[in-house]
Amino acid sequence: MKEKLFNPENAYRLDDPMRLGFMPFQDVIDCMDIKSGMTVVDIGVGTGYFAIPIARIVGEEGKVYAVDVQPAMLEHLEKKVVHESLSSIFEIIEASAEDTSLPGACAHIVLMANLWHEIDDHMAALEEVGRLLVPGGKLYILDWRPDVERPPGPAIEHRISATQVVAFLTANGWKMDYNRNIGRYSYLLSAYPEI
């Protein structure tokens, strides 16, 4: 996993305004139908590219659990959360996608943005998401398309296509809700566990 993990020394790239041109956070957030008062778990939160605007939507009645395995990324995020006066909405957690340490049935939405290709144990991560979601909750996976040349993004050989992710989810009892390309280089899909 180490060679697939985003290097925190490049964290400045995650906040580069040029990123809006190829990964429009508002388009992603609009697809997620987030509402005030919801609880969202952002696994692989990085510097909060999605989590900060999500926190503004869920507001004081909601909650954002910001999970990342890299302490350096969480330090960047913590500074932004304090600067934006959003500390009361956030809980920042150093943990992996496979074991977040969060309570069960705590989330309306789980977001994994640009993370699926970094995960070594997809089954463990999927089981963890299933544990986190409330009934009717949804998983959203945003990741890099392997059919589009880089830069930006990870090496093509590290990318996993939307078709592969859909096949994995459906083979493991999840129903697809949404699947489309978004921005110039990414796809976004959502699914929920069949009960």
Q: What are the beta bridge partners of residue 111?
A: 42, 140
Cβ distance 125 to 147 under 8 Å? no
Is 18 domain-assigned? no
pLDDT tens for each residue of the chain, 195 residues long: 445 666 666 655 566 666 556 677 889 999 999 999 999 999 999 999 999 999 999 999 999 999 999 999 999 999 999 999 999 999 999 999 999 999 999 999 999 999 999 999 999 999 999 999 999 999 999 999 999 988 888 999 999 999 999 999 999 999 999 999 998 899 999 999 987
Is 175 domain-assigned? yes
Is 1 domain-assigned? no
- Give the strand order in the sheet containing 39-43: 90-94, 63-68, 39-43, 107-113, 133-144, 186-193, 174-182
User: Counting beta carbons within 10 angstroms of the beta carbon of residue 64, is it exposed (0 to 12), middle (13 to 18) or buried (19 or more)?
Assistant: buried
- Which positions ≥6 away from 160 have C-beta within 8 Å? 116, 117, 143, 146
Q: What does pTM read for this prediction?
A: 0.91
Is 172 domain-assigned? yes
Cβ distance 132 to 107 under 8 Å? yes
Q: What is the CATH number of the domain that holds 187?
A: 3.40.50.150
Is 47 domain-assigned? yes
Q: Which element (helix H / strand E) includes 189?
A: strand 186-193
Beta strands 174-182; 107-113: pairing state = unpaired
Is 5 domain-assigned? no
Is 15 domain-assigned? no
Is 100 domain-assigned? yes
Q: How many domains does the chain have?
A: 1
Domain residue limits at 102: 25-193
d(CA 140, CA 85): 26
d(CA 118, CA 64): 22
Helix axis angle, 25-32 relative to 51-58, nearest 10°? 40
